[in-house]
């Protein structure tokens, strides 16, 4: 994902940044609508692994007890989370590519290696995590609120995104919105190294002879997006389980830190618990990240073309 496609050399740095930011927001929106149901199943299995026999059981029970809309619980904060994360992520990705370019002495971001692009993605994830953590906290709590109520951890499950946000601020203060910040950084920074590395490498391998990576069609972009997502989740899934536990369980009281929760899961539930829900997560990654990159790549090209036409 080069910072400035060769076809658009005249666009300004400011317009390139705006294009990255806007296209990232569009990609985040597409990602949510394509992958939200399986994300809900993933979070339920991560936080209450003994309540369900597996992904299909969780899916069936959720539809039976909460109807189809139950799979879309937390969609509003999920949209906020993904739009904020991907807009910031892709905007900083373009900037970090330039930083890596300058440090490495490469003549153009178009010539960065997959490893160098992965490094830029990892750097960008540090900044996007700050926008992601509060919105994902609300999303995860809403996705598992029924299970929390069933175990008597909370008084009621009848609460929406805005009500949950107000409750967090009222009971825990503004800092409460950043429950799980450390585990979010621990997940995002290494995760997006593999995400962007996997994406750029698969794009390179799937580019036909005589063409550029920007010429890839929708099906190949979906495949590249799926590879990117699979690389991300395979590398950091246990960290995501810990993050989800901290964010969801903190609804009933402040939780211990990342390492304490990680060791407690290992001690009381075993290694398998750290991979609860990985099945639907890996299945989800192809449609969700495929939609993300199709929306990102095509909207970014359109915005850069618009900028060149307008002389921006």
Question: What is the per-residue pLDDT across 22-32, written as a single tens digit (0 to 9) for each?
Answer: 999 999 999 99
11 band by pLDDT with thresholds 50, 70 and 90: low
Q: What is the tens place of the pLDDT at every residue in 18-62?
A: 999 999 999 999 999 898 899 899 989 988 888 898 899 999 999
| Percent of the chain with pLDDT strictly greater than 90 | 47
Cα 13 to the center of its chain, rounded Å:
26
CA distance 268 to 191: 26
pTM of this structure: 0.81
- Is 252 within 8 Å of 155 (Cβ atoms)? no
Range in 7-16, 166-175, 206-215 the model is least confident about:
7-16
- Is 139 within 8 Å of 44 (Cβ atoms)? no
Give residue for tokens 């029924």: 146
Range in 4-13, 82-91, 147-156, 293-302 the model is least confident about:
4-13
- What mean pLDDT is predicted for residues 75-95? 88
Q: What is the tens place of the pLDDT at every residue in 157-172?
A: 678 888 889 988 998 8
- Is 198 within 8 Å of 232 (Cβ atoms)? yes
Provide φ and ψ at 303, rounded to 5°. Answer: -70, -40
Query: With 80 as the cut, is the pLDDT of residue 129 above it?
Result: yes
1 band by pLDDT with thresholds 50, 70 and 90: very low
Contacts of 124 (CB under 8 A, 6+ apart): 88, 89, 90, 92, 93, 95, 96, 192
Write the DSSP string, the chain: --SS-TT-TTS-HHHHHHHHHHHHHHHHHHHHHHHHHHHHHHHHHHH-TTS-SSHHHHHHHHHHHH-GGGGGTTHHHHHHHHHHHHHHHHHHHHHHHHHHHHHHT-S-GGG--HHHHHHHHHHHHHHHHHHHHHHHHHHHHHHTHHHHHHTTSSS-S---HHHHHHHHHHHH-GGGGGTTHHHHHHHHHHHHHHHHHHHHHHHHHHSPTT--GGG--HHHHHHHHHHHHHHHHHHHHHHHHHHHHHHHHGGGSPPP-HHHHHHHHHHHH-GGGGGTTHHHHHHHHHHHHHHHHHHHHHHHHHHHHHHHHHT-
Query: With 80 as the cut, is the pLDDT of residue 152 above it?
Result: no
Q: Is 85 exposed, middle or buried (0-12, 13-18, 19+ CB in 10 A)?
A: buried
- What mean pLDDT is predicted for residues 81-88? 87
pLDDT at res. 155: 61
pLDDT at res. 266: 94
Q: How long a stretch of residues is the chain?
A: 312
- Is 2 within 8 Å of 109 (Cβ atoms)? yes
- What mean pLDDT is predicted for residues 203-214? 87
């Amino acid at each position: 994902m080069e910072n400035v496609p060769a076809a658009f050399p005249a666009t300004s740095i400011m317009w390139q940044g705006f294009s990255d930011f806007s296209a990232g927001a569009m990609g985040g929106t597409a990602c949510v609508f394509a992958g939200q149901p399986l994300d809900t199943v993933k979070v339920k299995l991560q936080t209450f692994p003994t309540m369900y026999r597996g992904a299909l059981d969780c899916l069936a029970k959720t539809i039976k007890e909460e109807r189809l809309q139950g799979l879309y619980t937390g969609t509003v904060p999920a949209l906020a989370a993904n739009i904020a994360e991907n807009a910031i992520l892709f905007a900083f990705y373009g900037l970090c590519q330039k930083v890596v370019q300058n440090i490495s002495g490469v003549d153009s971001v178009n010539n960065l290696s997959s490893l160098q692009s992965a490094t830029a993605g990892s750097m960008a994830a540090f900044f996007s995590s700050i926008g992601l953590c509060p919105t994902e906290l609300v999303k995860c709590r809403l996705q598992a609120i029924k299970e929390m109520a069933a175990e008597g951890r909370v008084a009621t499950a009848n609460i929406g995104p805005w009500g949950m946000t107000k409750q967090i601020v009222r009971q825990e203060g503004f800092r409460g919105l950043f429950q799980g910040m450390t585990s979010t950084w621990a997940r995002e920074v290494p995760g997006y190294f593999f995400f962007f590395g996997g994406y750029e490498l698969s794009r390179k391998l799937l580019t036909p002879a005589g063409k550029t990576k920007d010429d890839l069609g929708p099906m190949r972009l979906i495949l590249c997006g799926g590879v990117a997502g699979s690389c991300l989740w395979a590398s950091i899934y246990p960290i995501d389980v810990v993050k989800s536990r901290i964010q969801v369980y903190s609804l009933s009281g402040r939780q211990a830190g990342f390492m304490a929760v990680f060791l407690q899961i290992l001690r009381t539930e075993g290694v398998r618990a750290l991979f609860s829900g990985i099945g639907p997560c890996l299945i989800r990654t192809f449609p969700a990240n495929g939609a993300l990159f199709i929306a990102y790549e095509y909207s970014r090209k359109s915005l850069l073309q618009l900028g060149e036409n307008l002389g921006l």
